[in-house]
Structure 1
């Protein structure tokens, strides 16, 4: 069925693609140099960071993949676009190629982990931009965002957005230092099976560091991994720092966290006794990345530490 759809549908897509690419720019991607249209108008994003970046620079995509743990995109995107108008074309790591084809995109923004087999299919539909990521780094999301912005011809707009983020983070850091509310922190995603410590090399931990709060993982996360194995409640003392940012992805995680709050192991933590446990949205803190998500994280930090 997929081969048939590609054969039939590509005829119209190719015609539109030839027109869009009459004037093209070249960008460097994980799959080599790719020609992208000068003014793309029909964009599909297959990565939350690509959707975030697009909206941050004023571009509304036609389609996107879901966020982790839910059947739509993260709630915070609703402040920047009508979610009812956004077509869902898959889930993380599994794209519905036929759904992408139906949207007749002139540009596809994909994740760095895109398999070669999917790239070969998607690149027949439209120029497909895949970042060349090299492991987990706190600032890797900025490199990804810059590539997406380059493909969208919105590089100057993105740099202004970055400037706003950096200026705000520096202001929050100064205020935290004046208030004496800094220290270290753990970011933990609470799943139905229990808590997982997020790596200190993730997007959210980098945003925390920019405000002067050093995120740690207690040596519980293997190199190159985004999070630890699930911790038992008896081992919660290993994440007892100055601050604890607790992320959940959906209602199941929230229910599991609420049950954990009733346990003596949780209540005995110094961070709990100090009132420094901060519930946060796991879709933002432990799943997505991008300029808009960075502002949400800064909102959470400001509210928790300065209000």
Structure 2
């Protein structure tokens, strides 16, 4: 049975979370992140968590995160399936949880350590900023994250200024899965970044409101996503193999964006699953490289 920890002995401040005010230590040292966005924020703030969950479609942290790790956090579960015993064994000072975590699971985690969960409802391309600030408060690293957010804004503005000399390029972001390509919603993290950088990203009218992506498209319907730029994200080797097969098909070859050589394969762990300031900077760097002649 999980023991209830005496928070009042060391808690020095509180943060406002989805479940009300939560008391947290002033300078937590042992941090467990149960959400990729929280892992990103922790690293951007200069804290390497002792525990984290795997990235979607992988068995470890996201590839873009690797460059920011001097030591690897212990893996305490996968997306939506947390190993409570593994979390308990790490003796965390604070736990950073994903939005919309079931309350029953939140209550169990809160018995291990103060658990900070953002209040995020529905899809919002700017929600990651509020989440970043909340996690920064929980870590006592507000200044570091404000600096990181300012760096993201400056990088996006730099790209947008360069684009402003001409017409904003249109783009579609597609996640390629073994069952077929899915167009990603305009209301996600990455599309929000691309818009800030001056790109007219859209979902080709294929994504229902409040849903993160379209149903899988058949190759015959690929013409629906024939934008000026096409960013193709794969999460793992199976998705890469499916994309490779599609690229060899006549339906794919007929796309005008293919003829213009403006199809850009990207890492789905970054472009379609990540959030946070480090992810934002990595995406903007890749966008800039793709758009620069």
**TM tier, shorter chain?**
over 0.9
Aligned runs of 1:65-214 on 2, under 5 Å?
Answer: 65-82=53-70, 85-178=72-165, 180=166, 182-214=168-200
- Segments of 5+ residues of structure 2 without an aligned counterpart are none
8 A Cα contact 1:20 1:40, kept in partner: no
1:94, distance to aligned residue in structure 2 (A): 0.9
Structure having the higher helix fraction is 1
Aligned twin of 1:49: 37
8 A Cα contact 1:20 1:106, kept in partner: no
| TM-score after normalising by structure 1 | 0.93
1:19, distance to aligned residue in structure 2 (A): 4.6
Aligned runs of 1:284-299 on 2, under 5 Å?
Answer: 284-299=270-285
1:18, distance to aligned residue in structure 2 (A): 5.3
1:135, distance to aligned residue in structure 2 (A): 1.0
8 A Cα contact 1:63 1:89, kept in partner: yes
Matched, 1:275 2:261: yes
After the TM superposition, which parts of structure 1 deviate over 3 Å for at least 4 consecutive aligned residues? 17-20
Counterpart secondary structure, 1:125: coil
Matched, 1:255 2:241: yes
What is the count of residue pairs matched by the alignment? 293
1:289, distance to aligned residue in structure 2 (A): 0.4
8 A Cα contact 2:168 2:199, kept in partner: yes
| TM-score after normalising by structure 2 | 0.97
Distance (Å, rounded) in 1 between the aligned partners of 2:283 and 2:262: 16
Aligned twin of 2:21: 33
1:218, distance to aligned residue in structure 2 (A): 1.5
Distance (Å, rounded) in 2 between the aligned partners of 1:71 and 1:20: 35
Aligned twin of 1:64: 52
Counterpart secondary structure, 2:214: coil
Give deviations 1:31-85, integer Å, cap 9, x for gaps. 11111111111100000000000101111110000000010010111111135x3
Distance (Å, rounded) in 2 between the aligned partners of 1:127 and 1:65: 18
1:182, distance to aligned residue in structure 2 (A): 3.4
Distance (Å, rounded) in 2 between the aligned partners of 1:219 and 1:256: 24
Give deviations 1:247-291, integer Å, cap 9, x for gaps. 000000000000000111111111111111111110011111000
Distance (Å, rounded) in 1 between the aligned partners of 2:8 and 2:77: 26
Distance (Å, rounded) in 2 between the aligned partners of 1:120 and 1:256: 41
Counterpart secondary structure, 1:60: coil
8 A Cα contact 2:270 2:279, kept in partner: yes
1:176, distance to aligned residue in structure 2 (A): 2.3
RMSD of aligned alpha carbons = 1.3
- Segments of 5+ residues of structure 1 without an aligned counterpart are none
